[in-house]
């Protein structure tokens, strides 16, 4: 799996947004549903401490996503 940007791709045809999305639905979504692949979450940080989340993102030790969490009332 490689990251790609859909913004500059054509809507239809070879290498298009539609083609890439169809491939994702066919190959990746089933793996996600099975739990075979999942995002790597490096940290969960309360939204009230967003500055810490930015510090983590700037850190070379952080591998994966940094999630901002919101406490429900």
Do the beta carbons of residue 53 and residue 45 sit within 8 Å? yes
pLDDT category, 1, cuts 50, 70, 90? Answer: low
Quick one: CA dihedral 37, 41, 47, 53, positive or negative?
A: negative
Per-residue pLDDT reduced to its tens digit, 25-72: 999 999 999 999 988 999 999 999 999 999 999 999 999 999 999 988
The pTM assigned to this predicted structure is 0.58
Give the model's pLDDT for residue 30.
96
User: Is the C-alpha dihedral spanning 4, 8, 57, 60 positive or negative?
Assistant: positive
Residue 2, pLDDT score? 66
| Ramachandran sector of residue 41 (left: φ over 0; alpha: ψ -120 to 50; beta: rest) | beta
């Amino acid at each position: 799996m490689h990251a790609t940007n859909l913004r500059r791709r054509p809507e239809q045809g070879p290498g298009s947004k539609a083609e890439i999305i169809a491939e994702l639905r066919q190959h990746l979504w089933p793996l996600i549903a099975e739990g075979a692949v999942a995002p790597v979450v490096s940290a969960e940080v309360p939204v009230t401490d967003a500055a810490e989340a930015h510090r983590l993102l700037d850190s070379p030790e952080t591998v994966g996503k940094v999630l901002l969490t919101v406490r429900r009332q």
